[in-house]
């Protein structure tokens, strides 16, 4: 009894801590994104609220919370309000199995990777509900794009992850990290560069980030699936986007970049540094590239990533069998 209670208490702390990580990192990420955008465009970015505008995101969050929740006439009440919650809710279980440090894992499960892949699928459902429930044609187009995109890109993503799982022989993220060593040539990216590339492209696409931000493509679909959302409805989608970025980058770090394994600094800091490097690259992409067209997006997936992922998977399997 006491052991189970202990376990439960531990999980509770983990959930609360994860929620805190999500909230704080979202604030940091949004600030980072604006600053990077600003400096790339040779302007300062947010500058007025707080020193160098650090409190700008907080001010924006307060503004979003203060807005009246508004549902357009003819929108489906249940779907419309459920969608943003459903978009954000999976963020917690997604972050639980991730090993932030040698002993910093919220939920040590053997099938951690499966858990993450399973819960990440909910996002597509949320976008679909938002698009359909809004009773808006732009949103509908956005939702249709979101579903096709998520479903398509999940497959090569899965394959690249599987190649790593083949090599390490486990689906437990902590064990995958432990399998790798502290130096870069010990990391999985060294043995699986192609898988990492595929994973990263798919991760950007899965999180609907530019240049794959077609479901919201504001120059085409005004705002895509969240056209009709304002206030906290929009805020939750926004939060979900950044949390998803955090999740995919954490998984990438754990799978390919040796997780917390690195010399000199304590593991937790290394993990953070690696995550934020990946996040910076994703942000950098957004402020550099034009958007793909929808058919090009799917072509890239089905004609390039999928065959490459498959080949990589088979190659890995073959090599594992031989050696």
Partner 1 sequence: MDSVNRIRDDVAGLWSLVKGLKVTGTCFARDQVTVHYPRAQVDNLRTFRGPIELVESPDDPRRPRCIACMTCAGVCPHGCITVVRKKPAKMEKGTEKGGGSDKGEAKKKARKGPATFTYDYTRCCLCGFCVENCPVRSIRFSSRGYLAGIDKGAFVFDLLEKFGEEERSQKPEPGVTSPATAG
Partner 2 sequence: MMSGWIEGLQPLGRLTDPYEKTGSSCSIVLAREDLRDAVVGLYEEGFFLEDITGMDFAEGFATVYHFDHPQEPCRASLYVTVSHQMPAIPSISDIFTGAEWHEREVADFFGIRFTGHPDPAPLLVPDDMDSPPLIKGEEDRIPFEGFLNACGGVDKPNASQLFSQGEPQHALPDPGLRRSEGEDDPDTMVINMGPQHPSTHGVLRVILRLDGEYIVEARPVIGYLHRMHEKMAETRTWVQYIPNMGRVDYLNAMAWNWAYVGAVERLAQIRAPERAEYIRVIVSELNRISSHLVWWGALLLDLGAFTPIMYGFEDREHILDLLQVLTGSRLTYSFFRPGGVAGDVNDDFLKGCLKFVRHMRERLPMYAELVTENIIFRRRTEGIGLLPLEMCRRYGATGPVVRGSNLAYDVRRVEPYSIYHRFDFKIPVDTGCDAMGRYCVRMAEIEESLKIVEQAVEQIPGGDHILKKSPGPRWKAPPGEAYFAVEGARGKIGVYVVSDGGPKPYRVKLRAPGFSNLSLFGELVRGALFADAVSILGSLDLVIPEIDR
Q: Which residues bind to partner 2, rule: CB under 8 A?
A: 37, 40-43, 137-138, 141, 210-211, 213, 217-220, 222, 286-296
**Across the strands, what pairs with 99?**
105
Q: Name the residue nearer to partner 1 (CB basis): 52 or 186.
A: 52
| CA 261/CA 264 separation, integer angstroms | 10
Which of partner 1, partner 2, none sits in contact with 219, Cβ below 5 to 8 A by type?
Answer: partner 2
Q: How far is the CB of 254 from partner 2 (least distance, A)?
A: 30
Candidates 7-15, 32-40, 148-156, 170-178: pick the segment binding partner 1 (CB under 8 A).
32-40
Interaction of residue 47 with partner 1, rule CB under 8 A: yes
**Radius of gyration of the chain, Cα coordinates, nearest whole angstrom:** 20
- Residue number, 159 or 214, with CB nearest to partner 2: 214
Task: Return the residue of 1, 2, 3, 43 that touches partner 1, per CB under 8 A.
Answer: 43
- Report the nearest approach of partner 1 to the CB of residue 66 (Å): 24
In angstroms, the CA 103 to CA 185 distance is 23
**Among 285, 294, 302, 315, which residue interacts with partner 1 (rule: CB under 8 A)?**
285
294 lies in the binding site for partner 1 (CB under 8 A): no
Helix (H, G, I), strand (E, B) or coil at 47: coil
Closer of 239 and 300 to partner 1 (Cβ): 300
- Distance between alpha carbon 44 and the CA centroid of its chain, in Å? 27
Helices (H) and strands (E) in the chain, counts: 15, 0
Task: State which of positions 6-25 bind partner 1 (CB under 8 A).
Answer: none
Which residue of 7, 39, 67, 137 would you call a contact of partner 1, by CB under 8 A?
A: 39
Q: Which is nearer to partner 2, 150 or 250 (CB)?
A: 150
* 41, 63, 110, 266: which one binds partner 1 (CB under 8 A): 41
| Backbone angles phi and psi of 99, in degrees to 5 | -80, 105
From the list partner 1, partner 2, none, partner contacted by residue 284 (C-beta under 5 to 8 A by kind): partner 1
Distance of CA 276 to the CA centre of its chain: 12
State the nearest-atom distance from the C-beta of 204 to partner 1, in Å: 12
Task: Answer yes or no whether residue 295 interacts with partner 1 by CB under 8 A.
Answer: no
- Under rule CB under 8 A, residue 277 binds partner 1: no
The nearer residue to partner 2, 46 or 106, going by C-beta atoms, is: 46
- Is 264:140 a contact under the CB 8 Å cutoff? no
Residue 214 to residues 93, 236, 246, 303: CA-CA distances in angstroms?
26, 19, 20, 19
Distance CA(164)–CA(152), nearest Å, equals 20
Q: Can residue 40 be called a binding residue for partner 1 (CB under 8 A)?
A: yes
SS3 105: strand
Q: Which residues pair with 105 in a beta bridge?
A: 99
Of 231, 207, 248, the C-alpha closest to 124 is 207
Spatial contact of 52 and 30, defined as CB atoms under 8 Å apart: no
**What is the distance between the alpha carbons of residues 315 and 12, in angstroms, rounded to a whole number?**
42
Binding site for partner 1 (CB under 8 A): 36, 38-44, 47, 284-285, 287-289, 304
């Amino acid at each position: 009894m006491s052991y189970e209670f202990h376990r439960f208490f531990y999980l509770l702390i983990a959930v609360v801590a994860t929620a805190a990580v999500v909230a704080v990192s979202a604030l940091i990420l949004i600030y980072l994104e604006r600053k990077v955008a600003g400096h790339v465009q040779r302007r300062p970015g947010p500058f007025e609220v707080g020193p160098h505008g650090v409190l700008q995101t907080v001010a924006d969050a307060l503004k979003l919370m203060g807005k009246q929740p508004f549902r357009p006439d003819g929108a489906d009440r249940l779907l419309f309000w459920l969608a943003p919650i459903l978009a954000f809710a999976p963020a917690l279980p997604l972050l639980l199995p991730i090993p932030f440090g040698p002993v910093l894992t919220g939920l040590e499960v053997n099938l951690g990777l499966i858990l993450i892949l399973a819960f990440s699928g909910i996002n597509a459902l949320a976008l679909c509900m938002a698009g359909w429930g809004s009773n808006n044609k732009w949103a509908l187009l956005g939702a249709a794009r979101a579903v096709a995109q998520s479903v398509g890109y999940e497959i090569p993503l899965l394959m690249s992850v599987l190649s790593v799982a083949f090599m390490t022989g486990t689906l437990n993220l902590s064990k995958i990290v432990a399998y790798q060593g502290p130096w870069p040539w010990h990391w999985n990216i060294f043995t699986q560069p192609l898988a990492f590339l595929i994973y990263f492209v798919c991760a950007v696409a899965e999180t609907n980030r530019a240049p794959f931000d077609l479901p919201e493509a504001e120059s085409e679909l005004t705002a895509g699936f969240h056209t009709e959302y304002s206030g906290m409805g929009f805020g939750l989608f926004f939060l979900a986007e950044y949390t998803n970025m955090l999740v995919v980058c954490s998984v990438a770090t754990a799978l390919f970049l040796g997780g917390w394994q690195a010399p000199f600094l304590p593991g937790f800091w290394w993990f953070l540094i690696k995550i934020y490097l990946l996040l910076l690259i994703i942000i950098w992409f957004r402020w550099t590239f034009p958007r793909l067209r929808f058919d090009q997006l799917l072509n890239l997936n089905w004609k390039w990533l999928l065959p490459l992922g498959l080949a990589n998977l088979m190659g890995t399997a073959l090599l594992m069998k031989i050696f």
